[in-house]
Amino acid sequence: MLIADAIIKAGSETAQGGVTSYLHPRPGRTEPVRKTVFARKFAPWNVTISYGLYVDDIDADVRALTVDLGMVLAAASNLSKQAEQLSGEVGTFLKGVRAA
What CATH number should be reported for the domain holding residue 41? Answer: 3.30.450.20
Asked, for residue 20, whether it belongs to a domain, the answer is yes
Asked, for residue 28, whether it belongs to a domain, the answer is yes
Q: Which domain holds residue 44?
A: 3-54
Q: How many beta carbons lie within 10 A of that of residue 53, not counting itself? A: 13
**Long-range CB contacts (within 8 A, 24+) of 59-68:** none
HEC profile for 19-82?
A: EEEEEEECCCCCCEEEEEEEEEEEHHHCEEEEEEEEHHHHHHHHHHHHHHHHHHHHHHHHHHHH
Asked, for residue 16, whether it belongs to a domain, the answer is yes
pTM over 0.85: no
Asked, for residue 59, whether it belongs to a domain, the answer is no
Say how many domains are in the chain: 1
Asked, for residue 96, whether it belongs to a domain, the answer is no
User: Of 7, 10, 45, 49, which Cα lies nearest the Cα of 24?
Assistant: 7
pLDDT tens digits for 30-64? 999 999 999 999 999 999 999 999 999 999 999 99
